[in-house]
Amino acid sequence: MNKRNRLKWRTRLAIAAGILAVLVAGGLLGWRMLVAYFQRQYYRETCAPTELAAGDIGDYPAKHRLDDVPWFATEGTYCQSNSLQMIAAQKGIQESRAYFDFLMGFTYGVAEVPGEPGFLPFTDPESGFVFAAPYLGLVRRYTVTDDGALYLDALRYSLSQGYPVRVALDVAVLYDLERPLPHSEVLVGYDGSGFTYYETVCMPGFPCQPGHLPPGAEGLWVSDQELLQAVLGQARMFSYPWRYSLSIFEAGPVEDDLGPVWARNGRSLIGGAQYGPRQGADAIAGLADTIEERGTRVDLSEVHWGLEAAVYTRRSNATYLRSSFASQPDLGRAADLFDQAAEAYAQALAASEDGIAAQAEANQVAALLRDAAAAEREAGEILLARGQ
């Protein structure tokens, strides 16, 4: 694999993870102790963890395999919403991936990369799982422990009880990549020495192909120790207050009022900088300022794939709004704005593909990014108004 491809893999999966909490912490330079405190608070409030106890785990068979979970995987970095789509499908909820992007707000916002030009066109997935679950008649349960053996028991017991298990991990461990890459996988079975999982993102070089396979597909396999290493790797990347974590989704009351979804997605698109790095349209406008100010000195190596992902995610958002709310003129306008933003991102990508050779090029890219920011802000205002 060449250096350029490694860079793309690293950036793609980092984006897919939606690492908003870590970005917030990373932006508060010189405040290490304060950052660590707020980071822990953020994780505890967002994840709402339950500490695993030995008494929570009953007997389970030596091996077990779920045969009612379909396998959804994309080449685009939708690992979080793909995870939820598979789990929901087991419960009989057959919806497009874009529906889960919408409920989670996963593709309805942007996070600035502190300390360098760049942005992530996704939002924090952990809060997205919690927020989306009631609209699916589900409740997310997030369990943590520092005991590796107990963790493996909990995974097997949960699977034996019929729950597909979502795990956040460092996928570089699974595929022997050079740098840590936060990611999301769905476990669907186990034997005496490891687990079967469905990969959520199948890009070139990964041992799977993007697409939809029916329940019972063979899946991939990971050993106990490799899985522990991968899960611990993500915990260390993010400085979690725990070593191992798992998520399952149980039945719960159904929420029908989409008002909070519209409002949350609208606020994410509009953005701000209340807790550190800028978010939403403000992050894009800030990137434009940086590119304009640095001119030919700007390094866009971390920007290009963010632009590429912004193009396909915003087009997907537009398609979803048009197909699902065809009779709503305000949402038709929001869809047009998502397409406008996507086109501006695409032009900015084309204009900067070979770097910035002159100030005029920097000004052009900055102007295109400001156009995208304006479109996303207006779309956010439409969605926010719908939720009020």
Query: How far is Cα 19 from Cα 24, in angstroms, rounded to an integer?
Result: 9
Which CATH number is 113's domain given?
Answer: 3.90.70.10
What was the pLDDT predicted at 4?
41
What was the pLDDT predicted at 24?
40
Rounded to an integer, the average pLDDT of 20-36 is 47
Residue 7 pLDDT more than 80? no
The model's confidence at residue 35, banded by pLDDT at 50, 70 and 90, is low
Query: How far is Cα 378 from Cα 374, in angstroms, rounded to an integer?
Result: 6
| Domain end point (choices 251, 271, 292) | 251
Q: How far is CA 313 from the centre of its chain?
A: 12
Task: Judge whether 229 and 109 are in contact, CB under 8 Å.
Answer: no
The model's confidence at residue 273, banded by pLDDT at 50, 70 and 90, is low
What is the tens place of the pLDDT at every residue in 296-336? 898 887 789 899 999 999 999 999 999 999 999 999 999 99
In the numeric block, the tokens 């260390």 are attached to 236
Sequence-distant (≥ 6) Cβ neighbours of residue 199 within 8 angstroms: 73, 185, 206, 207, 208, 220
What is the tens place of the pLDDT at every residue in 45-61? 888 999 999 999 999 99
Query: How far is Cα 81 from Cα 184, in angstroms, rounded to an integer?
Result: 9
Task: Judge whether 50 and 141 are in contact, CB under 8 Å.
Answer: yes
Query: How far is Cα 175 from Cα 181, in angstroms, rounded to an integer?
Result: 10
Same domain, 358 and 329: yes
Q: How many CB atoms lie within 10 A of CB 41?
A: 11
Query: How far is Cα 273 from Cα 113, in angstroms, rounded to an integer?
Result: 12
Residue 19 pLDDT more than 90? no
The model's confidence at residue 278, banded by pLDDT at 50, 70 and 90, is confident
Residue 164 pLDDT more than 80? yes
For residue 258, what are its two tokens? 């989409």
Length of the chain: 388
Residue 21 pLDDT more than 60? no
Same domain, 222 and 341: no
Provide Rg for the chain, Cα atoms.
21
Domain assignment of residue 67, given as a range: 3-251
Of 11-25, 105-119, 155-169, 277-291, the range with the lowest mean pLDDT is 11-25
Same domain, 286 and 237: no
Number of domains in the chain: 2
| Domain end point (choices 251, 281, 298) | 251
The model's confidence at residue 276, banded by pLDDT at 50, 70 and 90, is low
Of 79-83, 235-239, 256-260, 286-290, the range with the lowest mean pLDDT is 235-239
Task: Judge whether 288 and 295 are in contact, CB under 8 Å.
Answer: no
Distances (CA, A) of 144 to 19, 38, 158, 189, 308: 19, 19, 13, 20, 35
CA-wise closest residue to 98 among 72, 59, 65: 72
What was the pLDDT predicted at 10?
42
CA-wise closest residue to 267 among 134, 379, 118, 99: 379
In the numeric block, the tokens 């593709």 are attached to 107
Distances (CA, A) of 287 to 54, 123, 297, 371: 49, 17, 14, 12
Burial 127-145 (b: 16+ CB within 10 A, else e): bbbbbbbbbbbbebbbbbb
What is the tens place of the pLDDT at every residue in 84-143? 999 999 999 999 999 999 999 999 999 887 667 888 899 989 999 999 999 999 999 999
pTM of the model: 0.89
Task: Judge whether 297 and 75 are in contact, CB under 8 Å.
Answer: no
What is the tens place of the pLDDT at every residue in 194-230? 999 999 999 888 999 999 999 999 999 999 999 999 9
What is the tens place of the pLDDT at every residue in 227-241? 999 999 999 988 899
Same domain, 219 and 276: no
Same domain, 122 and 223: yes
Same domain, 224 and 310: no
Backbone angles phi, psi at 354, to 5 degrees: -100, 20
Same domain, 199 and 314: no
Residue 15 pLDDT more than 50? no
Same domain, 33 and 170: yes
The model's confidence at residue 34, banded by pLDDT at 50, 70 and 90, is low
Same domain, 282 and 232: no
What is the tens place of the pLDDT at every residue in 55-82? 999 999 999 999 999 999 999 999 999 9
Same domain, 16 and 90: yes
What was the pLDDT predicted at 123?
92
Of 157-166, 189-198, 234-243, 245-254, the range with the lowest mean pLDDT is 234-243
Same domain, 270 and 163: no
Residue 272 pLDDT more than 50? yes
Distances (CA, A) of 127 to 21, 31, 48, 53, 102: 10, 24, 10, 24, 13
Q: How far is CA 232 from the centre of its chain?
A: 18
Same domain, 68 and 210: yes
What was the pLDDT predicted at 179?
82
CA-wise closest residue to 198 among 66, 98, 102: 66
| Domain end point (choices 251, 281, 307) | 251
% of the chain beyond a pLDDT of 70: 89
Task: Judge whether 82 and 105 are in contact, CB under 8 Å.
Answer: no
What is the tens place of the pLDDT at every residue in 355-382? 899 999 999 999 999 999 999 999 999 9
CA-wise closest residue to 131 among 141, 143, 140: 140
